Structure 1
Amino acid sequence: MARKWKAVVVGAGGAQAQAMLRALARGKATEGVLALDRAWRSETLDATRQMGFETLQLDALENAAEFDSLLQDTAVVANMAGPYYRTGTAILDRAIAAKTNYIDIADDADVTLPMLERTKAAEAAGITALIGMGSSPGTTNILIRAAVDRLGAVDDVDIFWAVDVQDITAAALRHFWHCFNLVDPDGTTHDVPGWDSLEFRDVEFPQPVGRQKLVRLAHPEPITLPRFLPVKRASNFGGVAPEEALVTAWALAHIADEQRSDGSLTDPAAKLFKSYMDRRANAPRIGSGLLIDVHTNGNGLRFSSGSEGRMDDSTGIPAAVGLILMCEGRVTVKGVISAEMVEPKDFFQVLRTVSEGGGGLTLWRLEDGQAVERLRIRDLLP
């Protein structure tokens, strides 16, 4: 029996969810999509309605009975409400119980394993739960899938990213702090390390981003890539630019570490970081960079990009692609899966209909760890 709503977007008033909705509107995919938020801001509510979405104010966690009833009448629920170490399994479990397909942009490593452990329950319910369908994870996984489809099995995938500190919202800040709590393959989570215990990389991104200092961070890709693809190891290094912002963010994360406290320092630390951001109000924008090496002993493929684009769009647009593919029945694997299970050709086909263009992504052949020949991304796709 057909359900009333093609999709319900939870947390639709957030910045990345708004970017997702704008992408859906560009792709003329607003019909049958309900935008839900627990506390709409008037300007965001107006903008959402002007894009053509129906809206509802509801707290999905507090109003359990009403939300569960809504899920019963929904084909796909898009969970855009982080932090995912608090909301990921909570909303996924409700979707499984309602036999409703699920998608999110979960980027917290410590919740990735518990969500993947729900795969048998999702299979039994006959649903697909696509987790981590944002930028990183999300676009990163699909690019790596395309590379592995061409190269075959590889030993290593190294992911490097940098975001402009101007893009760090209050929610993004808390996620970034959480990434300092490294996660072992078995799910063990560690305290935020001291500065001397951090593992650093200096990485050269295409302009306008340039050379940035990065640190090893907890992220889902090192957990999911070896699970779903013929990849032995994966690493993730990220940071905020400029370097002083990275140092400031780490220092506050180290002080307010929820692993070592009851969380009472988190809000005061966030206020201090906002004060730091206010002092940088007129600083020039640096942009965001991405570099992915897919290789064995330094031989393979490299994706790289540098862009002035905002993190909201780089995350929300691929989420819109994933939602469209799920609504169209083009992601058919049952259970809990991550973005590398999406067909790259399908992803890029829909991306063209919802993207604003730009991004500057390039593909190179790697030889002994060096980019030696530029290739065409389209040649990776069937």
Structure 2
Amino acid sequence: MHVVVIGGSGRVGRRFVSEIARHESVTTTVADRERPADPEQRYVELDLADPVSLRRAVEGADVVVNTSGPFDRWGTVVLDAAIECGVDYVDVCDDPVPTLALLERDAAARAAGVRAVVGLGVSPGLTNFLAVVAARELQEVDLLATFWGDSREGMEAAEATALAHGLAAAFRTGRAAYTHLIVQTSSLVPVWRSGGLVDERAWRTAYRVSTSRGETGVYRVIGHPEPVTVPQTARARDCINIGTVNIGTDRLMLPFLEQVAAGELSVEAALDGIAEALEAAPEYLATPRWGERLPRNIGAAAVGRRDGVADGVVVFPGGPVDGSMSLETARPAVVGVLHLDEALVGVHAPEAAFGADAYLAHYAAEYWEGGMPFLLDAAGADAVVEVER
């Protein structure tokens, strides 16, 4: 199998190339503006704005893996090229609006016999499958939430200070992930409420996820593709994606986000303001402990009813998902590419392309030494509850 990695010199692209290189049956070509660091790596120069350049990169591949953002600009461009060339496609798109635009290519992909899976990263991606598992445990689902991050409740002052200064540096440098975070958390985002999509201001509403053992964390609503795709496979009255930087930083961000939303502050100024606030008051991150931390930094929680009784569950990955964000984003795409022949023809979200049990078993075999594909906790009716609005 020959895989062309769009954006293969970037952080996620490099991780994908290194992870899939363990499989001798797979060869890769990096398609990017910049050459990869490895001089032995196959490379083709790519200008995404040039259709000729893009077609030259895509033609002849078995699969195109798109790790190049922003997806609202380049997602459909790359997918359209793959469909025109009859090449299968996988991406790690984590924006809901571009996801909907990508899914609109379904008919064209079916006509071309192309398999395309969009949003096959860690969240969305791995979380989508965990949500399907969670939802099927209940006969009625009132709220289905995918979550990511570690709210870091109960930090001592020294740990909080070190974290605050590290985060301040990250916010100040305006790394793409933090710029994207401010944009997403200060915007109206699509969520699934009362059986349909509605726009809701991100970050204002917080939820606490808790296990039967009292492990817990607090997360806030953010714009991700899970709410726009998962309810098509797993029935739920409400479906949201919730995330956290950490509980103290999440709260500290709120006034800056309000100003960005009102047009009173630029994203760049918000990044600087948050950095200054973190440095000025690192003790703000030393919040009270409500329980032990959750065992994984991603998962899904569902609450509703079973046999007419209020109930809920929390589902975690079967193994660790605690590497860098770029690594954990790349790995689900690797598993998807290796088993793409099991996916349906057309353009699909992860949970519609693969069966949840089959995909998670493949992931466990690849990265968890064949261990449990997921961990299911009978958390009860308080598995996920709203705590702040």
2:238 equivalent among 223, 230, 233: 233
Q: Is 1:102 paired with 2:110? A: no
Aligned to 1:378: none
2:51 equivalent among 52, 61, 64: 64
CA contact (8 A) 1:157 1:295 kept: yes
- The alpha-carbon deviation at position 117 of structure 1 amounts to 1.8
CA contact (8 A) 2:208 2:217 kept: yes
Cα distance change of structure 1 residues 244 and 148 upon mapping to structure 2, 3 Å threshold: closer
Residue deviations 1:149-171 (CA, integer Å, cap 9, x gap): 56566443122222588697822
CA contact (8 A) 2:145 2:241 kept: yes
1:343 equivalent among 355, 378, 381: 355
Residue deviations 1:181-202 (CA, integer Å, cap 9, x gap): 2333687767x67x8xx11224
Cα distance change of structure 1 residues 292 and 130 upon mapping to structure 2, 3 Å threshold: same
Residue deviations 1:188-243 (CA, integer Å, cap 9, x gap): 767x67x8xx1122445899xx75542211111111011233334311211212x3
Aligned to 1:34: 29
Cα distance change of structure 1 residues 330 and 18 upon mapping to structure 2, 3 Å threshold: same
The CA distance in 2 between the partners of 1:23 and 1:356, in whole Å, is 14
- The alpha-carbon deviation at position 106 of structure 1 amounts to 0.8
Give the TM-score, by structure 1 length. Answer: 0.74
1:316 equivalent among 319, 330, 338: 330
1:136 equivalent among 100, 117, 123: 123
CA contact (8 A) 2:63 2:89 kept: yes
Residue deviations 1:115-154 (CA, integer Å, cap 9, x gap): 2222112212221210110111100111223345565664
- The alpha-carbon deviation at position 19 of structure 1 amounts to 2.3
Describe how 1:153-164 pairs up with structure 2 within 5 A: 154-162=141-149
CA contact (8 A) 1:122 1:128 kept: yes
Q: Identify the range of structure 1 (86-95 vs 179-188) with the bigger mean alpha-carbon deviation.
A: 179-188
Q: Identify the range of structure 1 (338-347 vs 165-174) with the bigger mean alpha-carbon deviation.
A: 165-174
Gaps of 5+ in 1: 372-382
Cα distance change of structure 1 residues 62 and 370 upon mapping to structure 2, 3 Å threshold: closer
Cα distance change of structure 1 residues 340 and 171 upon mapping to structure 2, 3 Å threshold: same
The CA distance in 1 between the partners of 2:101 and 2:50, in whole Å, is 24
CA contact (8 A) 2:3 2:27 kept: yes
One-letter amino acid of the structure 1 residue matched with residue 382 of structure 2:
G
Aligned to 2:74: 87
CA contact (8 A) 1:307 1:359 kept: no
Describe how 1:140-179 pairs up with structure 2 within 5 A: 140-148=127-135, 154-162=141-149, 170-179=175-184
Aligned to 1:368: 381
One-letter amino acid of the structure 1 residue matched with residue 118 of structure 2:
I
Gaps of 5+ in 2: 152-162, 287-292, 385-389
CA contact (8 A) 1:23 1:355 kept: no
Number of aligned positions between the proteins:
343
Describe how 1:143-292 pairs up with structure 2 within 5 A: 143-148=130-135, 154-162=141-149, 170-180=175-185, 181-184=187-190, 198-203=204-209, 212-241=217-246, 243-247=247-251, 249-250=253-254, 253-256=257-260, 265-267=266-268, 269=270, 289-292=297-300
CA contact (8 A) 1:216 1:238 kept: yes
Cα distance change of structure 1 residues 45 and 274 upon mapping to structure 2, 3 Å threshold: farther
Identity of aligned residues (%): 24
The CA distance in 1 between the partners of 2:238 and 2:27, in whole Å, is 41
Aligned to 1:54: 42
Task: Say which SS state the counterpart of residue 91 (structure 1) adopts.
Answer: helix
The CA distance in 1 between the partners of 2:278 and 2:9, in whole Å, is 22
Q: Over aligned residues, Cα RMSD in angstroms?
A: 3.9
Cα distance change of structure 1 residues 369 and 271 upon mapping to structure 2, 3 Å threshold: closer
- The alpha-carbon deviation at position 25 of structure 1 amounts to 2.4
The CA distance in 2 between the partners of 1:245 and 1:366, in whole Å, is 27
Task: Say which SS state the counterpart of residue 80 (structure 2) adopts.
Answer: helix
The CA distance in 2 between the partners of 1:244 and 1:369, in whole Å, is 22
- The alpha-carbon deviation at position 83 of structure 1 amounts to 2.1
Cα distance change of structure 1 residues 107 and 122 upon mapping to structure 2, 3 Å threshold: same
CA contact (8 A) 1:317 1:354 kept: no
Q: Is 1:299 paired with 2:291? A: no
Aligned to 1:45: 37
Q: Is 1:334 paired with 2:310? A: no
The CA distance in 1 between the partners of 2:254 and 2:270, in whole Å, is 11
Describe how 1:116-135 pairs up with structure 2 within 5 A: 116-135=103-122
Cα distance change of structure 1 residues 172 and 250 upon mapping to structure 2, 3 Å threshold: farther
- The alpha-carbon deviation at position 31 of structure 1 amounts to 3.2
Residue deviations 1:65-122 (CA, integer Å, cap 9, x gap): 0211332212211110122222222222222222221111111112222222221122
